[in-house]
Amino acid sequence: MTVSLAVAGPSAYWYLARGTGAVSLVLLTASVLLGVLGSMRVAFAPRWPRFAVDQVHRDVSLLVIALLVVHIVTSVLDSFAPIGLIDSVVPFSSSYRPLWLGLGALSFDMLLAIVATSLIRRRVGYPAWRGIHWLAYASWPVAVLHGLGTGSDVKATWMLALTAVCVLAVMTATVVRIAGASRGPTTVRAGAAALAVLAPLGIAVFALAGPLATGWARRAGTPANLLVRGSGSAAGIVGSATASPRPGTPAGPAADKLKLPFTARLTGTITQTQEPNGAIVDLALRVSGDARGELRVRLAGAPLAGGGLSMTGSQVDLSAVGLASVMQGTIVALQGQSFLARVSDTTGSSADLRADLKIDGQTGAVSGTLSAQPSSGSGP
Ligand code: HEM
């Protein structure tokens, strides 16, 4: 049984969602700035031909959409929060931070409308295209609020600095654009300029009172069963695929306790590492269904001629939403693709875990079921 670990774990999706979120915001800001620059080319960039600015503006905007697709798909695939594809396009429909995630969906919808009408600009006509293009000025602050309201990195200095630079850049460009506009009543232009200055102030006040203050995870609408320290995180024996707890997510009595017995689904991967005097098999499994978390198993042993291992040692870690701590233990019986493990937590309560697995030796994919019940106390 020689298999290879091939898939990205949940944390990889989380890192990608955060990374693409931050880069999308920067590129969206660049797109807004290029749009403003394009409309002011005569005064501010006489050496830049209009088509060059417009072309870069268009390319950056398309890149934003491509990155946002990755951002959305990775957010959906990340197992921590219950986010579906529908939540990504239908604003405020999510059970996870509905308002703040909904603002992301709203901003994405607006961007789709802007890009779609730009691609068929001749057909929709200039007035309709221009009207929809003004949505860019709304979609950008809505995206900023979304990033602040849902982001895990909101308290990180780099993320705060990045957001502040984006906000100041768009504010400056908007004010300069309004000042340079020759048309429109003065009162309307003065109002727009005041809004451009007040909006960043509003964003700053919101950030201080909301995401930067304590208890934001709860106030933002994080489902109660996710408000637990270490949810989705195991003191993993295979660290790379472990989902991290969300910063800013408080531990607390709000968490629902996971009650035994339960039966859950297992999906994940198996890897075997050949060692000079034996082999090590690692199972990295996601637990879903009646329980949500991760099961990590490491088996050491001598390989058998016909495949499989004669076990010499093992370690089992179960982390799940609603458990007091990671439950750790060892395998007490192993037969074919099933095993029985006994694990206990820091409070001393223990459980028997029975896993029945289906292992694909070619791809390393594993699926199966996990039954957990209070430990019987006797040996295997
Ligand atoms: C214009 C559209 C969007 C922009 C510019 C954007 C940008 C961002 C930014 C800057 C963050 C903060 C990242 C961090 O803290 O490191 C973020 C977080 C997030 N976004 Fe978006 N987003 C957009 C749309 C969406 C949509 C439609 C979804 C729906 C699935 C979504 C899902 C998320 C999630 C789940 C997070 C939290 C990730 C984390 O734990 O940090 N976003 N987004």
pLDDT of 240 above 90: no
What is the mean pLDDT of the segment spanning 353-376? 88
pLDDT at residue number 292: 85
Task: Determine the residue of 146, 160, 226, 246 to mutate for testing ligand 1's pocket, defined as the one with the most ligand atoms within 8 A of the Cβ atom.
Answer: 146
- 177 and 93 inside one domain: yes
Of the three residues 219, 250, 277, the one that is the final residue of a domain is 219
pLDDT at residue number 3: 32
pLDDT of 5 above 80: no
Distance 362 CA to ligand 1 centre (A): 36
pLDDT at residue number 235: 25
Tell whether 175 is covered by a domain. Answer: yes
- 340 and 293 inside one domain: yes
User: Ligand 1 pocket, 17 CB below 6 A?
Assistant: yes
Task: Determine the residue of 15, 71, 90, 155 to mutate for testing ligand 1's pocket, defined as the one with the most ligand atoms within 8 A of the Cβ atom.
Answer: 71
242 band by pLDDT with thresholds 50, 70 and 90: very low
- 214 and 228 inside one domain: no
User: Ligand 1 pocket, 143 CB below 6 A?
Assistant: yes
pLDDT of 232 above 60: no
pLDDT of 254 above 50: no
pLDDT at residue number 43: 52
pLDDT of 34 above 70: yes
223 band by pLDDT with thresholds 50, 70 and 90: confident
User: Ligand 1 pocket, 145 CB below 6 A?
Assistant: no
- 272 and 211 inside one domain: no
Beta strands 327-335 and 278-289 are: unpaired
pLDDT of 163 above 90: yes
SS3 261: coil
Contacts of 149 (CB under 8 A, 6+ apart): 97, 99, 100, 101, 103, 210, 211, 220
pLDDT at residue number 309: 64
pLDDT at residue number 310: 76
Of the three residues 170, 187, 219, the one that is the final residue of a domain is 219
The string over 339-374, giving b where at least 16 C-beta atoms fall within 10 Å of a residue's C-beta and e elsewhere, is: bebbbebeeeebbbbebebebeeeebbbebebebee
Distance 88 CA to ligand 1 centre (A): 10
- 202 and 248 inside one domain: no
User: Ligand 1 pocket, 18 CB below 6 A?
Assistant: yes
User: Ligand 1 pocket, 71 CB below 6 A?
Assistant: yes
pLDDT at residue number 203: 93
Tell whether 5 is covered by a domain. Answer: no
User: Ligand 1 pocket, 317 CB below 6 A?
Assistant: no
Q: What is the pLDDT of residues 313-340, one digit of tens each?
A: 899 999 888 887 889 999 988 887 889 9
pLDDT of 79 above 80: no
Number of structural domains in the chain: 2
pLDDT at residue number 236: 25
**0.75 exceeded by the pTM?**
no
- Ligand 1 atom closest to the Cα of residue 246 is 40
- 346 and 270 inside one domain: yes
Of the three residues 174, 197, 219, the one that is the final residue of a domain is 219
- 77 and 191 inside one domain: yes
The residue segments making up the domain with residue 124 are 10-219
On average, the pLDDT of the chain sits at: 82
- 242 and 159 inside one domain: no
No. of H helices and E strands in the chain? 11, 8
Residue 308 corresponds to which tokens in the numbers above? 């499989």
